[in-house]
């Protein structure tokens, strides 16, 4: 007779064999459906296999592993996403919009490779007289992500973020069925094992048909529809609850290999794509290898003709030098590679009516006119609003309320109002007038001569600027209120507990302790830190007020010159210009700030709260009480004036300012003939334009670091 134990063991062994068979079958069918896009069995048959497999795992939980097909449904919600530092930065591509741009890209590649020599660049010497070989592929319109595998198993996934660090969305990515949880072994002919480490870069997106079905279900359920596949994919991937992500029809396509260990890197990008396909990753079937400039344009034309028939949205094509050694030798410039570029498709345009122009007030006080449009479908989305940037841009385009206008959008580019259709004017259109007072708080609006934006002067009072003003006031280089971070400030403002900086000094520990993620001890520590901040030097307090164009160096100069807050508040523009490096623009900005009654009321409340920098006296020699310490580095930049504009790749503005001041330099907020250097990063604005007009020296971050080192 067979004992009960023997029978149980036999049943478990049979279940294990069945589980292995069903898992292999489900993996095979998943690969065919989600990667090859060629289903091998009907949905009903797949569902039957899945139910059978799931029942076995429920009966024998020890059969469940992290890479099981049943684990794609999502785990419990995450409280928030943790930040992940990318081993290799996820940089953006430069853009080409015309044939001339492509020709110049090809020329720069040739010139770059000639400098290092073709052999060093990994190209045949015979190639000296031939065209450069490029790998070309569609440019997916989705969300860029990084996937990391260790010993063939998926261990971490992250968004691009700022290029250097992103959000850890591993749990959500596990639910995307086209992402292999375990790498497939390459074909035997390749004689390669699964690598010990692999980092893959790619795009998460939604196929058009999946997007349409999802919106159909939303309509039937009376729920809000998504605007376009890209937004739907991005929103789905960033759900805190992976179970929601699992219900969304997300797809993944690989487009690069960022790192591999345990086996050699292929010699070309096209070979990389083949290897990734063999590992089980979906890759674009429309990829190709072409020769030279003519080959690039021919591919662009070919894909443009196929664009509407593709199963996913694209906004252009990507060109990459095929040789990886050549890529390495060409290197990078700023935040993009020299060996690759994205050739964007022409923007799509449509006509609609400009219903109104409203003014939004940003967190820094900038007033931005925004076009309210009659809804129009263009570039894959329904557009109802578009920024008009500033008053000058609005006047340049000659827009009037009531105009029929041309709206343009390309891919993920922000919608743009190109201009009015003049022949459609009826005479009923109205001119737009920029308000002279802030639409949010009623404070005066000022536009400085060297700036395109008009700004609200109620910096300490205006609700639109409230969070930014308090963050700056409490920051390390201002009043340095320890523990008063962004999330706590958000809660204080959103619950209407703090309307301006003076309200901080009325906060009680009991009030803070009731806030999210705050305990009694933490609340007491923050109240103590706020109390300690009352003993502030005049220069720090001036800087903390957030006056436009008044940085730390200017704040110190003002403190030395005037000696007290009362004297500074009563200063005329003429007397302000007596201060070193304070010109007409900065003087006007300071005078307008103190002329605003709302700001003076907040300062008076700070005085009553005991913030002693306001009552500082005899500061002319001491610089507002700041002790003059020997700098950490030689004063190699003594007397030199710097202006920072745009976003630097690795340094924050505070860090760059500190490095410059440590070496004796001075950082100001406006560009003038007295400026020695303008440090420009990404998205530099009018300050960079003015620097070029004045013929000033413009440096990037790399050149700034070289200057500081020398």
Structure tokens given for 636: 């190699």
CB 637 within 8 A of CB 631: no
Query: What 3-state class would DSSP assign to 430?
Result: strand
In 3D space, the residue among 165, 169, 181, 166 whose CA is nearest the CA of residue 237 turns out to be 169
- Residue 372 CB neighbours (<10 A): 14
What is the bridge-based pairing of β-strands 94-96 and 340-344? parallel
Residue among 139, 344, 666, 687 flagged as catalytic: 139
- Measure the CA–CA gap between 674 and 640, rounded to whole angstroms: 9
Kindly give the residue spans of alpha helices, DSSP state H, lying in 486-583.
486-494, 509-513, 520-532, 538-544, 552-562, 565-569, 573-576
- Measure the CA–CA gap between 454 and 330, rounded to whole angstroms: 43
| CB burial of residue 614 (10 Å; 0-12, 13-18, 19+) | buried
565 phi and psi, to 5 degrees? -70, -35
Structure tokens given for 116: 């290092």
CB 336 within 8 A of CB 93: yes
- Measure the CA–CA gap between 499 and 363, rounded to whole angstroms: 14
- Residue 182 CB neighbours (<10 A): 17
- Measure the CA–CA gap between 490 and 468, rounded to whole angstroms: 10
3-state secondary structure 173-205: HCCCCCCCCECCCCCHHHCCCCCCEEEEEEEEE
CB 418 within 8 A of CB 394: no
Which residues make Cβ contacts (< 8 Å) with residue 450, sequence separation at least 6? 585, 670, 671, 672, 686, 687, 690
- Residue 285 CB neighbours (<10 A): 12
What is the bridge-based pairing of β-strands 641-645 and 677-680? parallel
For residue 356, CA distances in Å to 349, 396, 430 come to 20, 18, 9
CB 17 within 8 A of CB 25: no
**139 a catalytic residue:** yes
- How far out from the chain centre does Cα 692 lie? 27
Task: Give the helix/strand (H/E) hosting 679.
Answer: strand 677-680
As a whole number of angstroms, the longest Cα–Cα distance in the chain is: 109
Rounded to 5°, angle at Cα 157 from 342 and 171 = 135
Which residues make Cβ contacts (< 8 Å) with residue 40, sequence separation at least 6? 28, 29, 32, 33
Kindly give the residue spans of alpha helices, DSSP state H, lying in 639-685.
653-662
- Measure the CA–CA gap between 629 and 136, rounded to whole angstroms: 57
- Measure the CA–CA gap between 580 and 324, rounded to whole angstroms: 53
| CB burial of residue 426 (10 Å; 0-12, 13-18, 19+) | exposed
Rounded to 5°, angle at Cα 195 from 193 and 196 = 130
- Measure the CA–CA gap between 138 and 411, rounded to whole angstroms: 13
Active site residues: 139
């Amino acid at each position: 007779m067979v004992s009960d134990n023997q029978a149980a063991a036999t049943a478990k062994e049979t279940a294990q064999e069945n589980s292995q068979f069903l898992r292999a079958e489900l993996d095979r069918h998943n690969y065919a459906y989600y990667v090859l896009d060629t289903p091998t069995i009907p949905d009903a048959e797949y569902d039957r296999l899945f139910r059978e497999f799931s029942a076995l795992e429920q009966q024998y939980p020890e059969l469940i592993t992290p890479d099981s097909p049943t684990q794609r449904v999502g785990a419990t919600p995450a409280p928030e996403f943790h930040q992940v530092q990318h081993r290799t930065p996820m940089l953006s591509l430069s853009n080409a919009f015309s044939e001339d741009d492509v020709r110049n890209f090809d020329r720069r590649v040739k010139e770059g490779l000639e400098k290092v020599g073709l052999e060093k660049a990994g190209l045949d010497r015979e190639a000296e007289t031939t065209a450069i070989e490029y790998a070309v592929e569609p440019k997916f319109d989705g969300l860029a992500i990084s996937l990391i595998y260790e010993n063939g198993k998926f261990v971490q996934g992250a968004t691009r973020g700022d290029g250097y660090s992103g959000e850890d969305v591993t749990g959500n990515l596990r639910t995307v069925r086209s992402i292999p949880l375990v790498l497939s072994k390459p074909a035997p002919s390749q004689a390669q094992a699964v690598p010990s480490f692999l980092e893959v870069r790619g795009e998460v997106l939604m196929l058009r048909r999946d997007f349409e079905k999802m919106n159909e279900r939303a309509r039937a359920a009376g729920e809000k529809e998504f605007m376009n596949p890209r937004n739907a994919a991005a929103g789905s991937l960033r759900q805190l609850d992976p179970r929601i992500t699992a219900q969304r029809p997300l797809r993944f396509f690989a487009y690069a290999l960022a790192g591999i260990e345990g086996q050699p890197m292929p010699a070309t990008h096209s070979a990389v794509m083949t290897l990734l396909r063999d590992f089980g990753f979906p890759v674009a079937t429309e990829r190709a290898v072409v020769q030279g400039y003519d080959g690039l344009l021919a591919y662009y034309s070919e894909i443009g003709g196929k664009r509407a028939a593709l199963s996913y949205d694209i906004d252009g094509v990507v060109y990459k030098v095929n040789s990886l050694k050549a890529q390495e030798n060409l290197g990078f410039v700023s935040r993009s590679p020299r060996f690759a570029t994205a050739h964007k498709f022409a923007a799509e345009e449509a006509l609609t009516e400009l219903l109104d122009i409203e003014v939004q007030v940003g967190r820094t006080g900038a007033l931005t006119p925004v076009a309210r449009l009659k809804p129009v479908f263009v570039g894959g989305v329904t557009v109802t609003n578009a920024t008009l940037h500033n008053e000058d841009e609005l006047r340049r385009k000659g827009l009037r309320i009531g105009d029929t206008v041309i709206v343009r959008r390309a891919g993920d580019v922000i919608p743009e109002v190109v201009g009015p259709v003049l022949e459609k004017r009826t005479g009923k259109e109205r001119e737009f007038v920029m308000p002279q007072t802030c639409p949010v708080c009623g404070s005066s609006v000022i536009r400085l001569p060297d700036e395109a934006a008009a700004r609200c002067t109620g910096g300490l009072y205006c609700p639109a600027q409230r969070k930014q003003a308090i963050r700056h006031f409490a920051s390390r280089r201002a009043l340095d209120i320890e523990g008063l971070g962004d999330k706590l400030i958000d809660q204080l403002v959103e619950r209407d507990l703090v309307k301006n900086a003076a309200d901080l000094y009325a906060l009680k520990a009991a009030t803070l302790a009731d806030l999210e993620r705050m305990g009694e001890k933490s609340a007491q520590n923050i109240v103590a830190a706020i109390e300690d901040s009352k003993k502030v030097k005049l220069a720090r307090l001036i800087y903390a007020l957030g006056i436009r164009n008044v940085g730390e160096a200017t704040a110190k100069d003002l403190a030395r010159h005037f000696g007290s807050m009362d004297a500074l508040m009563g200063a005329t523009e003429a007397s302000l210009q007596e201060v070193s490096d304070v010109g007409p623009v900065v003087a006007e900005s300071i005078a307008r700030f103190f002329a605003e009654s709302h700001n003076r009321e907040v300062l008076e409340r700070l005085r009553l709260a005991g913030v002693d920098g306001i009552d500082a006296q005899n500061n002319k020699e001491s610089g507002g009480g700041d002790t003059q310490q020997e700098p950490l580095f030689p004063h190699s930049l003594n007397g030199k004036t710097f202006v920072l504009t745009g976003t630097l790749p690795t340094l924050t503005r505070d860090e760059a300012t500190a490095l410059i001041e440590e070496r004796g330099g001075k950082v100001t907020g406006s560009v003038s003939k007295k400026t020695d250097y303008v440090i420009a990063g990404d998205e530099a604005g009018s300050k960079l334009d003015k620097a070029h007009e004045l013929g000033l020296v413009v440096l990037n971050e790399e050149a700034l670091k070289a200057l500081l080192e020398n």
